[in-house]
Amino acid sequence: MKLLLTGFEPFGGETVNPSWQAVCLVPEQIGTVTVVKRCLPTSFARAGTVLTDAIAALRPDAVLCVGQAGGRAAVTPERAALNLDDARIPDNDGACPADAPIVPGGPAAYFATLPVKAMAAAIGAAGVPAAVSNTAGTFVCNHVLYLLLHTLAAQYPGVRGGFVHIPYAPEQTRAKPGQPALPVADAARALAAAIAVLDAPASGL
Amino acid sequence: MKLLLTGFEPFGGETVNPSWQAVCLVPEQIGTVTVVKRCLPTSFARAGTVLTDAIAALRPDAVLCVGQAGGRAAVTPERAALNLDDARIPDNDGACPADAPIVPGGPAAYFATLPVKAMAAAIGAAGVPAAVSNTAGTFVCNHVLYLLLHTLAAQYPGVRGGFVHIPYAPEQTRAKPGQPALPVADAARALAAAIAVLDAPASGL
Amino acid sequence: MKLLLTGFEPFGGETVNPSWQAVCLVPEQIGTVTVVKRCLPTSFARAGTVLTDAIAALRPDAVLCVGQAGGRAAVTPERAALNLDDARIPDNDGACPADAPIVPGGPAAYFATLPVKAMAAAIGAAGVPAAVSNTAGTFVCNHVLYLLLHTLAAQYPGVRGGFVHIPYAPEQTRAKPGQPALPVADAARALAAAIAVLDAPASGL
Amino acid sequence: MKLLLTGFEPFGGETVNPSWQAVCLVPEQIGTVTVVKRCLPTSFARAGTVLTDAIAALRPDAVLCVGQAGGRAAVTPERAALNLDDARIPDNDGACPADAPIVPGGPAAYFATLPVKAMAAAIGAAGVPAAVSNTAGTFVCNHVLYLLLHTLAAQYPGVRGGFVHIPYAPEQTRAKPGQPALPVADAARALAAAIAVLDAPASGL
């Protein structure tokens, strides 16, 4: 089984993005899963193309994208993506879309096809805070998850896709009193634990 | 213009539900809007029927449901509802569905058709903390919003629908240190401010 | 009974300080209490002098200082002040003291002499979120409370003193997602409720 | 240099206390520091005696107590202890003191004599979220820190003392949505990093 695992570039004035740092620490072989890693630009315009080009080139059996969710206290597999771009801050190209559909005429949402509850349970069993999330936001993370699931549904029907948000790294919260953070090595351990159960059946939906 | 405005019964061991308390404090006439109020049971099985029966009987021009979102710090118009019931605690009938579609074969989500950004701006301008929310959860609130939007789309295409979550009332957080709360009178003021702009165009979606 | 009630100027890049806004909304007569109001500079060097000059001029029976505690969800009477200045951001004079005693050789702390539990109970009974706090921080608020209690202990032994922190006003949290806020009118109502019970016996200490 | 390092028993209905779990994982030799470990009862009546008996028996050069601070997102060296017991929940003996001095006639507070800022910096440099805290609460943790500092001041003037609070372990927050947690191995790493800098000069106070 081949997994495409992606992280993101830093954005929003941060100098690191723990999603890519954590992805870099994930082993390249986890049980029978071979992990191939790519870094996506934090760009509404470019992220989707980089991702779909990688899928076309690599032909993975599953795709797991990882992003930073500043303010969250747990590692959170995402349940769904909305067909909506609505940015509070500019992306790395300076784009700041408001209330725009990602795919005009597309479904209002897609559910992730990876087993989000099994993944959250595995992350928790690895000793890392975990919860299933019901929103990937409306920034580039949600944009990428929507495009991923839209592309898989249309072109690669047997390939499963999903997204995991991770908290800030501790170095990012020094000037943000009270904000939760998770050491990047724990985030990597969480991702490895989630990857080890990607074969689980998805929840009913 | 006739608005159907709903709140919920208490649930989860609480003795009050600030959503119904706040709805009760909303004036029955706001500008040109006549407000008709109903209280919904916090029940996956019964809430939808009470709501759709009220719509059939009252034939409102718009429907706004209000619910309690314990832990939130702001009054939050909801952007969308997912086709998913997944309860962490039992509802008032003891039902605790897991990973179940609300409408089998229905769309993964519906976007609210009320103007969520104008509503949030009006609430903020009234001096009450406000934000647009991207998730109504997967409990009875989301269930009701999904059924509302599904019903309006199928049977009442000109009628607009939406949902607003409000924080705990202060009396509910006495034994919950650090949890945010909002006086119910402010929540009522927020609802009135939102209702005053229901005519605004919805955001792009 | 004459009460000196103080708020603070804006600081830290904010354009308002809800403490002074709320103080302005408090009635000038509450039961038998006559309320005299002053605004303190958010300055380690100047706040104490403005406060002690006002005490000398007004000869109040009690002094209640009010300040902004960004990030808190409740109105919080303070239990104690530490003999420590340690600023994370500059005050309005650009001063940023680190690990400095407020009164060299002074006691490590003073307990407030106002009835903090009765005040918190009265605020809660007025329908506003309330809790007793065990730390006034180490910025100008704590500095003022320490100097107040030090001055009262040394020079005005029959005069009671204390401090109440209030949350951000809603207008301050628009660009601070997830941060709690309280309408200023509620904060004013909370202060009036607390003032109405200033005569209660202090807790054991 | 000999360090007495303590954790606490579980309390408040929890089945684990991450403070003792983390203490157990700390190496017994860190640089020149020999670490001797003890578990304290979560009891107002008994914790102090167990601690002071251990000090008398072991004659350590420094004492660092560790406790659980549910709800905190970071590992937090404590700056000070107040002369106040005020429990929101019963301790493990069922005691629930309210507004009671720990040492009648004792100072209102003691400052920790370990280098809290150097410790927080070392914890952060080890990649674990860290912050100096200004309150150890008013439960058994604060009680123990106050008694420790009172005892050291009176009987062991050359011995330094302090306290570190750590977040919930992830297993404790599964039914507490949104609450931060830290893997116990990280908490242990944080403690080891703090212990490695115990020789640093204390801050000005």
What is the value of pTM for the model shown? Answer: 0.94
Which residues does chain A have within 8 Å of residue D133's beta carbon, measured at their own beta carbons? Answer: none
SS3 D97: coil
Q: Could you give the CA distance from residue B74 to residue C76 in angstroms, rounded to a whole number? A: 19
Check D178 against B88: CB less than 8 A apart.
no
Closest CA to C60 of C152, C147, C142: C152
SS3 B7: strand
Q: Of the candidates D82, D101, D203, which has its C-beta nearest C109's C-beta?
A: D82
First to last CA, chain C: 23
Q: Are strands D160-166 and D109-111 parallel, antiparallel or unpaired?
A: unpaired
Residues of A serving a catalytic function are 78, 141, 165
Q: What is the pLDDT of residues B64-107, one digit of tens each?
A: 999 999 999 999 999 999 999 999 999 999 999 999 999 999 99
Q: What distance in Å separates residue A8's CA from the closest CA in chain C?
A: 22
Q: Which chains have 3+ CB pairs within 8 A of A?
A: B, C, D
Which residues in chain C are closer than 8 Å to A177, comparing Cβ atoms? 71, 88
The sign of the CA dihedral D63, D69, D74, D80 is negative
**A116 vs D170: CA distance, rounded Å:** 18
3-state secondary structure of B195: helix
3-state secondary structure of A117: helix
B88 close contact with D: CB closer than 8 A = yes
Using the beta-carbon criterion (under 8 Å), do A170 and D129 form an inter-chain contact?
yes
d(CA C55, CA C156): 9
Cβ contacts (< 8 Å) between B88 and chain D: which residues? Answer: 177
CB contact under 8 A, D110 and C111: no
Residues of chain B where predicted confidence (pLDDT) is lower than 50? 204-205
Residue C142 three-state SS: helix
pLDDT at B146: 98
Q: How far is A28 from chain C (nearest CA, A)?
A: 36
Tokens 């999903």 belong to A162
Q: How far is CA C60 from CA C31, C53, C117, C145, C159, in A?
A: 16, 12, 22, 16, 7
∠ Cα B53 B57 B59 (to 5°): 110
Report the C-alpha gap between C186 and D140 in whole angstroms. 34
Which pair of tokens denotes residue B21? 């308390």
- Quickly state the pLDDT bin for A203 (edges 50, 70, 90): low
Distance (Å) of CA D14 to CA C84, C147, D9, D72, D74: 35, 41, 10, 16, 20
| Strand, coil or helix: A198 | coil
Given CB atoms, is A170 within the 8 Å cutoff of chain C? no
Buried b vs exposed e over A87-104: b needs ≥16 C-beta within 10 Å? beeebbeeeebebbbbee
A181/chain D closest Cα distance in angstroms = 6
The DSSP letter of residue B200 is S
- Strand C160-166 relative to strand C76-77, pairing: antiparallel
Neighbours of chain B (3+ CB pairs under 8 A): A, C, D
pLDDT score, position D129: 96
Any catalytic annotation for residue C141?
A: yes
Contact of B84 with chain A, judged by CB distance below 8 Å, is answered with: yes
> Of the CATH numbers 3.30.390.50, 3.30.700.30, 3.40.50.1000, 3.40.630.20, which one belongs to the domain with range A2-195?
3.40.630.20
Bridge partner residues of D82 (DSSP): D109
CB contact under 8 A, D124 and A180: no
Cβ–Cβ below 8 Å for B184 and C74: no
* C-beta atoms surrounding C68 within 10 Å: 28
- Which pLDDT score, from 0 to 100, does residue B98 have? 97
Residue D35 CB: number of other CB atoms within 10 A?
20
For the stretch D85-130, pLDDT in tens is 999 999 999 999 999 999 999 999 999 999 999 999 999 999 999 9
Average pLDDT over residues A64-91: 97
Q: Among residues 144-163 of chain D, which lie with CB inside 8 Å of chain C?
A: none
DSSP alpha helix (H) spans, chain D: 18-25, 47-58, 116-125, 140-155, 184-195
Query: What is the Cα Rg of chain B in Å?
Result: 15
Segment (H or E) for D88: none
Helix (H) or strand (E) holding B116: helix B116-125
Interface residue C71 vs chain A (CB under 8 A)? yes
Question: Which residue's structure tokens are 């065990």?
Answer: C134
Q: Which residues of D are catalytic?
A: 78, 141, 165
Below-50 pLDDT ranges, chain C:
204-205
Q: Which residue of A has its CA nearest to C71?
A: A178
Burial of B46 (0-12, 13-18, 19+ CB in 10 A): middle
Sorted by where each begins, the domain ranges of chain B are 2-195
ipTM of the prediction = 0.95
Q: How confident is the model at residue A202 (pLDDT cuts 50, 70, 90)?
A: confident
Q: Given an 8 Å threshold on Cβ–Cβ distance, is C82 in contact with D84?
A: no
Output the pLDDT for position B203. Answer: 65
Cβ atoms of B62 and B161 within 8 Å: the answer is yes
Beta-carbon-side half-sphere exposure of residue A182 (alpha carbons within 13 Å): 34
B99–A203 C-beta distance less than 8 A: yes
The whole-number pLDDT of residue C31 equals 94
Closest CA to A6 of A50, A59, A57, A70: A50
Q: For residue A125, what is the nearest residue in chain D, using CA coordinates?
A: D171
What DSSP state is assigned to residue B4? E
A178 CB within 8 Å of a chain C CB = yes
Chain position carrying tokens 């003792």: D20
Q: Is C178 on the interface with A (CB under 8 A)?
A: yes
**Catalytic positions of B:** 78, 141, 165
Nearest-CA distance from B53 to chain C in Å? 35
| Three-class secondary structure of residue B91 per DSSP | coil
Using the Cβ of D106 and the Cβ atoms of chain C, whether some distance falls under 8 Å is answered with no
The answer to whether B31 contacts chain D (CB < 8 Å) is: no
Q: How many helices (H) and strands (E) does chain D have?
A: 5, 8
Three-class SS state of D155: helix
Torsion sign over Cα A122, A124, A129, A132: positive
The number of C-beta contacts closer than 8 angstroms across A and C is: 6
Helix axes B18-25, B184-195, angle to 10 degrees: 60
Contact A180, A168 (CB under 8 A): yes
Please say whether the beta carbons of D12 and D92 come within 8 A. Answer: no
Establish if A13 touches chain C: CB-CB under 8 angstroms.
Answer: no
Contact D183 A128 (CB under 8 A): yes
Q: A109, A112, C188: which is closest to B110 by C-alpha?
A: A109
- Residues pairing with C109 in the sheet: C82
The DSSP output letter for D138 is S
Kindly list the residues from chain B whose CB atom is less than 8 angstroms away from the CB atom of residue A80. 82, 84, 108-109
Residue of B nearest to C170 (CA): B129
Tokens 């029959």 sit on residue: C158
* Other beta carbons within 10 Å of B173: 23
- Contact (CB<8Å) B127/C185: yes
CB A41 within 8 A of CB A90: no
| Chains A, B: CB pairs < 8 Å | 66
Chain A hits for D180, CB-CB cut-off 8 Å, are 73, 129, 180
Q: Is A130 in contact with D177 (Cβ distance < 8 A)?
A: no
| CB of A80 less than 8 A from some CB of B | yes
* Average pLDDT score over chain A: 96
Q: By the CB < 8 Å criterion, does C46 face chain D?
A: no
The residue type of A142 is: N
How far the first Cα of chain B sits from its last, in Å, is 23
DSSP string, A85-103: B--SS--TTS----SB-SS
- Distance (Å) from the alpha carbon of D159 to chain A's nearest alpha carbon: 31
Position A38 pLDDT exceeds 80:
yes
Query: Which residues of chain D are under the pLDDT cut of 70?
Result: 203-205
CA–CA separation, D49 vs D55, rounded Å? Answer: 10
For the record, the structure tokens of C82 come out as 């530490």
Q: Cβ distance C178 to B73 under 8 Å? A: yes
Question: C203: distance to nearest CA of chain D, Å?
Answer: 6
In three-state secondary structure terms, A20 is helix
CB proximity B22 to C under 8 Å? no
Alpha helices (H) along D3-136: 18-25, 47-58, 116-125
Residue-level pLDDT at D178: 86
Our CA-based measurement puts residue C176 at a distance from the nearest CA of chain A, in whole angstroms, of 11
Helix (H) / strand (E) element for D99: namely: none
Q: Which helix (H) or strand (E) holds C66?
A: strand C62-68
**A134/B82 CB distance under 8 A:** yes
Question: Phi and psi for B186 in degrees, rounded to 5?
Answer: -70, -40
pLDDT of residue D203: 65
Query: Which pLDDT score is estimated for B192?
Result: 98
